[in-house]
Chains A and B, each alone.
Chain A
Amino acid sequence: MSPHSVSLFSIALALFAAPATAQQAAAVIAIPPLTTPDEKATGAGSPAAVAWQASQLIASDLRTTAELVPVGPDQKDYYSYPEVTAPTFSRWRAKGAKFVLTGFVRSRPDGRLTVGCYVYDTVKGRELGRTGFVVAPEDWRRAAHKCSGIAYTAATGAPGIFDTRIAYVAESGPPGARVKRIAIMDGDGNNQSFVTAGDTIVLTPRLSPKAENLAFVSYVDGQANVRIVNLASSEQRPLVAGSGGMSFAPRFAPDGRRIVFSMQAGPNTDIYVADSSGGPAQRLTAAPGIDTDPSFSPDGARIAFESDRSGNQQIYTMAADGAGQRRISFGGGWYAAPVWSPDGEWIAFARRIPGVGSRIGVMKPDGSGEKLLTDGALDEGPSWAASSHELIFQRAGPDGRPALYRVTLAGGDARKVVTPQDASDPDWSGVVD
């Protein structure tokens, strides 16, 4: 297939050959600079400038993963336009690269740019994936993230985590009177924006699967209650009207149409489900005690949640209609904040161990195979990356100030995610369309 036919792409398109099997060790992927056909302009927003910036961003994206080690981009690795779809595999094999990503940036008559990317296995000499994107010159970052995504998927078989959004609570001010604002950024930390003004306490932002809507908890009515905001229109409304008690701990169902959450009545807190567009809430749990932090399985059939019905916080699962409630955590201490992984394989949690601290861990949905992934004193609020290979969470420092960290399922040290202010309650979206 010649590169010219990619101009037919009007929206994101990815065709995958059979993905390579999961890598044991990190594999090298060569990222030679994207090329530009017959274009002389070099100013900002020109195809040549965007090609170079996009190549650097792709390498930077892939460098944040545990599975891939990017090499490049290097100006001297330039290749011609026809070579985009006919790379010289031996050249990249000689550099130790198992994969190579090629691509191009081309201007269109309407002023926008076409960005195309291809991923190849250098050993088998086979294409593993491709994507094409037509973007305004200023939106080149998203096209680059899509290219990173096909490289990641080709190497691991898992969805890429680059064209995603992260919602969190930005914090400032003294400890007793923190100013909290809902903030959203791209998966790579760019494009920071605020959703709320900071005039009232807000907690636990939760993005809908495609990051179109956001559920969060606000004290705007004097007590904690779940609100829903449409991120395009900024239209905002309460999830349940006039419940009396507080409502909190919202999370979208995988279809984005329902929300599970907690509602408190007197000393009791139970789990409810409601349409995200409004309507009455249906009660799912009725045990005396605090049932909270519900999270749907990716097929929408089951819900994991925490309950202190046994005496302290433990993790339970149940069917989506509340049937068959069953405890799955039995280690020492408290287990809180379960979150089902997008691939359905794991439930992440925060485990409080007296005298040790609060750690992030994972277990299988039947409670087996528990492993702890972090070693902070006060880690909580895990949220999965779309890949199901990584988690973002909140870690409080010795001074109590929280920051966001990422840790991979494979283990290793947690890495700090840079944010302009202190940050808590992270929530990582699925891949944005």
Chain B
Amino acid sequence: MRRAFLLLALMGSAASAQFPGLSRRPSAPPPPVPLLMGIDGLRAEFAAQSGSDKVYFGGDSAVLTAPARATLAAQAQWLRRHPEIIVRIEGHADPSDTRDHALAVAARRAEEVRDYLVLLGVPAAQLSTVSWGKERIAVMGASQDALALNRRAVTVLVR
């Protein structure tokens, strides 16, 4: 059963690879492909084709940087092709922020990402947000690099 799904998934991606132009036509997205790939496979494909499922922010900031906008444009392209996928945008803060401000600033980061994806044509109904504040630290350490890697918003495919 599982092997059959994987086979179909491979055929699916092979098919789209033969028609790369299809994914560059935002005004007319193809009809939804039946959900044959498992969520883990979809997540991997999403991250690979978008460049990343994460965008990063400056200290105490929810402003989208140019690299973040580029990543989100690629994410939006994939998400428009998969309107059946429910997405949760998870905002995070770095551990140098105080507990409650971290919650609020991480919420703001998630909202910024959601708003930008909607601006790029992703249906708002497809997107929800949650703030994890500084409760889900990705990279330990107090170095500037470690802090920067925690100030993130992750586009999580839910189902």
Contact of A352 among B98, B100, B103, B108 (CB under 8 A): B98
What range describes how many residues of B lie at the interface?
20 to 34
Query: Complex: how many Å from CA A269 to CA B105?
Result: 9
Pick from A178, A203, A224 the residue with the most CB of B within 10 Å: A224
Interchain CB contact under 8 A, B107 and A264: yes
Query: Complex: how many Å from CA A350 to CA B108?
Result: 22
- Residues A398 and B142 in contact in the complex (CB < 8 Å), given A290-B108, A337-B98: yes
Residues of A within 8 A of B95 (CB): 378, 396, 400
Contact stretch, chosen from B22-30, B39-47, B133-141: B133-141
- Residues A358 and B98 in contact in the complex (CB < 8 Å), given A246-B131, A248-B103: yes
Interchain CB contact under 8 A, A267 and B62: yes
Asked if A293 is at the interface of the complex by the 8 Å CB criterion, the answer is yes
Query: Complex: how many Å from CA A203 to CA B134?
Result: 11
Contact of A246 among B103, B136, B141 (CB under 8 A): B103
Within 8 A of B (CB), among A363-395: 377-378, 380-381
Query: Complex: how many Å from CA A266 to CA B114?
Result: 10
Within 8 A of A (CB), among B96-119: 96, 98-101, 103-105, 107-108, 111-112
How would residues 129 to 159 of chain B score, 1 for a CB under 8 Å from any chain A CB and 0 otherwise? 0110101111011100000000000000000
Least CB distance, A204 to chain B, in whole angstroms? 6
Asked if A313 is at the interface of the complex by the 8 Å CB criterion, the answer is yes
Interchain CB contact under 8 A, A224 and B103: yes
Interchain CB contact under 8 A, A292 and B131: no
- Residues A312 and B100 in contact in the complex (CB < 8 Å), given A223-B131, A269-B107: no
Residues of B within 8 A of A400 (CB): 95, 137, 140-141
Interchain CB contact under 8 A, A262 and B142: no
Contact of A380 among B99, B107, B131, B140 (CB under 8 A): B99
Query: Complex: how many Å from CA A352 to CA B94?
Result: 13
Asked if A175 is at the interface of the complex by the 8 Å CB criterion, the answer is yes
Least CB distance, A396 to chain B, in whole angstroms? 7
- Residues A203 and B107 in contact in the complex (CB < 8 Å), given A290-B101, A400-B95: no
Write the chain B residue with the least CB distance to A312.
Answer: B60
Interchain CB contact under 8 A, A267 and B100: no
Pick from B96, B101, B140 the residue with the most CB of A within 10 Å: B101
Interchain CB contact under 8 A, B137 and A378: no
Residues of B within 8 A of A248 (CB): 100, 103-104
Residues of A within 8 A of B108 (CB): 267, 290
Residues of A within 8 A of B104 (CB): 248, 262, 264, 269, 290, 292
Within 8 A of B (CB), among A280-327: 290, 292-293, 306, 308, 312-313
Interchain CB contact under 8 A, A308 and B101: yes
Interchain CB contact under 8 A, B131 and A224: yes
How would residues 46 to 90 of chain B score, 1 for a CB under 8 Å from any chain A CB and 0 otherwise? 000000000000001010000000000000000000000000000
Query: Complex: how many Å from CA A175 to CA B150?
Result: 12
Asked if A399 is at the interface of the complex by the 8 Å CB criterion, the answer is yes
Interchain CB contact under 8 A, B100 and A337: yes
Query: Complex: how many Å from CA A399 to CA B141?
Result: 7
Least CB distance, B60 to chain A, in whole angstroms? 6
Query: Complex: how many Å from CA A392 to CA B116?
Result: 42
Write the chain A residue with the least CB distance to B107.
Answer: A264
Least CB distance, B19 to chain A, in whole angstroms? 38
Pick from B100, B111, B133 the residue with the most CB of A within 10 Å: B100
Query: Complex: how many Å from CA A249 to CA B101?
Result: 9
Query: Complex: how many Å from CA A313 to CA B100?
Result: 11
Asked if A166 is at the interface of the complex by the 8 Å CB criterion, the answer is no
Within 8 A of B (CB), among A194-225: 201, 203-204, 222-224
Residues of A within 8 A of B62 (CB): 267
Interchain CB contact under 8 A, B99 and A381: yes
Write the chain A residue with the least CB distance to B135.
Answer: A201
Least CB distance, A293 to chain B, in whole angstroms? 5
Least CB distance, A85 to chain B, in whole angstroms? 50
Asked if A176 is at the interface of the complex by the 8 Å CB criterion, the answer is yes
Residues of B within 8 A of A177 (CB): 136
Query: Complex: how many Å from CA A290 to CA B140?
Result: 26
Residues of A within 8 A of B140 (CB): 175, 399-400
Asked if A331 is at the interface of the complex by the 8 Å CB criterion, the answer is no
Query: Complex: how many Å from CA A396 to CA B99?
Result: 12
Interchain CB contact under 8 A, B98 and A313: yes
Residues of A within 8 A of B137 (CB): 175-176, 400
Residues of B within 8 A of A381 (CB): 98-99
Query: Complex: how many Å from CA A352 to CA B103?
Result: 17
Query: Complex: how many Å from CA A293 to CA B140?
Result: 26
Interchain CB contact under 8 A, A222 and B130: yes
Q: Which residues of B contact A (CB under 8 A)?
A: 60, 62, 95-96, 98-101, 103-105, 107-108, 111-112, 130-131, 133, 135-138, 140-142
Further pairs besides A175-B140, A248-B103: 12, Cβ < 8 Å:
A177-B136, A203-B103, A203-B133, A267-B108, A269-B107, A290-B108, A292-B104, A313-B101, A336-B100, A336-B101, A396-B95, A400-B141
Q: Which residues of A contact B (CB under 8 A)?
A: 175-178, 180, 201, 203-204, 222-224, 245-246, 248-249, 262, 264, 266-267, 269, 290, 292-293, 306, 308, 312-313, 334, 336-337, 350, 352, 358, 377-378, 380-381, 396, 398-400, 424-425
Instruction: Please list the 8 inter-chain residue pairs (A to B) with the smallest Cβ-Cβ separation, ordered nearest first.
Output: A336-B98, A290-B104, A249-B100, A269-B104, A292-B100, A267-B108, A223-B130, A380-B98
